[in-house]
Amino acid sequence: MSNAPLMPKATAVWLVENTSLSFDQIADFCKLHPLEVKGIADGEVAAGIKGHDPITSGQLTRDEIAKGEANPEHKLNLAISKVRVPEIKRRGGPRYTPLSRRQDRPNAILWLLRNHPELKDAQIMRLVGTTKTTLQAIRERSHWNSANLSPLDPVTLGLCSQIDLDFEVARANKDKPPAADQGATLMPAEITTAPREYEPERHEPASQEEVFGSRKPRQHDDEEDIDVDSVFAKLKNLKVKE
């Protein structure tokens, strides 16, 4: 089953309290985790939630519950609603904005002008439900309340959904020209991560000049032969003179 019942946790609370269905059956019907259903039975989860009867709301029949209680392997099927609600068709033109949020529209327009300058006037008008005159006045700072305006996200204000904003931004970016070439860029990953072939370097024996630089190694002079007898003779002469 693909569709979940309305108020799944409240429905799970009612099924735990009023039926003998297994945790797995309730979890599968309410699109919850079996441990979460077990927590509801233990009173650890959804303690303050009042149970919602899926029978009175037409989401489940008594026969379906009886089948599930008799066979633990039976999966509960959501009852098909006999009342068909027609799809709401989106009207063309500006979006309707509730009275309580109309005062926030100028702030949302200012936010869109600053953060998404690529949006066209028609796109901004569709998103926040404004007029061309108001949009132009905020852009030219001629709005009567320009000094007190502060940019606020229209999604946070509830003036439009994030999906609608992303859709309009993506549509505006399609019309933008491609970015100009910025010159040299980083090398692609295919080149930087490719294995390299290293060639062994040939090392030739360094010459004496390369090792010692411009200085030449010190050359020790041949020591002269020392006559020991003559040295002692001179020492004796010095003692005699003293």
Q: pLDDT per residue over 158-170, tens digit each?
A: 888 888 998 988 8
Domain boundary among 21, 50, 70: 70
> What mean pLDDT comes out for the span 204-233?
56
Split at pLDDT 50, 70, 90, the class of 1 is very low
CA distance 60 to 184: 66
| Three-state SS letters, 156-220 | HHCCCCHHHHHHHHHHHHHCCCCCCCCCCCCCCHHHHCCCCCCCCCCCCCCCHHHHHCCCCCCCC
Split at pLDDT 50, 70, 90, the class of 25 is very high
State how far Cα 152 lies from the chain centre: 21
Q: What is the pLDDT of residue 5?
A: 81
Domain contains 103? yes
Q: Are residues 61 and 128 in the same domain?
A: no
Structure token pair of residue 93: 């033109």
CA distance 225 to 222: 9
Q: What is the pLDDT of residue 227?
A: 67
Domain boundary among 20, 53, 70: 70
Highest mean pLDDT among 136-140, 208-212, 213-217 belongs to 136-140
* pLDDT more than 70, % of the chain: 65
Domain contains 30? yes
Residue 145 in this model has a pLDDT that exceeds 50: yes
Q: What is the pLDDT of residue 88?
A: 53
DSSP string, 86-129: PPPPPPSSSPP--GGGGGGHHHHHHHHHHH-TTS-HHHHHHHHT
Domain contains 166? yes
Q: Are residues 114 and 169 in the same domain?
A: yes
CA distance 130 to 112: 12
Split at pLDDT 50, 70, 90, the class of 181 is low
Q: Are residues 105 and 170 in the same domain?
A: yes
Q: Are residues 109 and 65 in the same domain?
A: no
Domain contains 226? no
Domain contains 189? no
Mean of the per-residue pLDDT values of the chain: 77
Q: Are residues 167 and 119 in the same domain?
A: yes
Residue 206 in this model has a pLDDT that exceeds 60: no
Containing structural domain, residue 32:
8-70
Q: What is the pLDDT of residue 199?
A: 54
Domain contains 230? no
Q: What is the pLDDT of residue 174?
A: 79
Higher pLDDT, 46 or 2: 46
**CB-based contacts of 155-159 (< 8 A; 24+ apart in sequence):** 157/101, 157/104, 157/107, 157/108, 158/101, 159/95, 159/97, 159/101, 159/104, 159/105, 159/108, 159/127, 159/128, 159/129
Domain contains 127? yes
List of residues 6+ apart from 134 with CB closer than 8 A: 105, 106, 109, 143
Residue 197 in this model has a pLDDT that exceeds 80: no
Structure token pair of residue 211: 């090792």
Amino acid in position 108: A
Residue 222 in this model has a pLDDT that exceeds 70: no
What is the tally of structural domains in the chain? 2
Residue 234 in this model has a pLDDT that exceeds 90: no
> What mean pLDDT comes out for the span 120-143?
90
Per-residue pLDDT tens for 58-112?
Answer: 888 899 999 999 998 998 888 876 666 565 555 555 555 565 567 888 999 999 9
Q: Are residues 103 and 168 in the same domain?
A: yes
Domain contains 15? yes
Split at pLDDT 50, 70, 90, the class of 136 is very high
Domain boundary among 174, 189, 220: 174
Residue 38, judged by CB atoms within 10 A of its CB (0-12, 13-18, 19+), counts as: middle
- 97 half-sphere exposure, CB direction, 13 A CA radius: 25
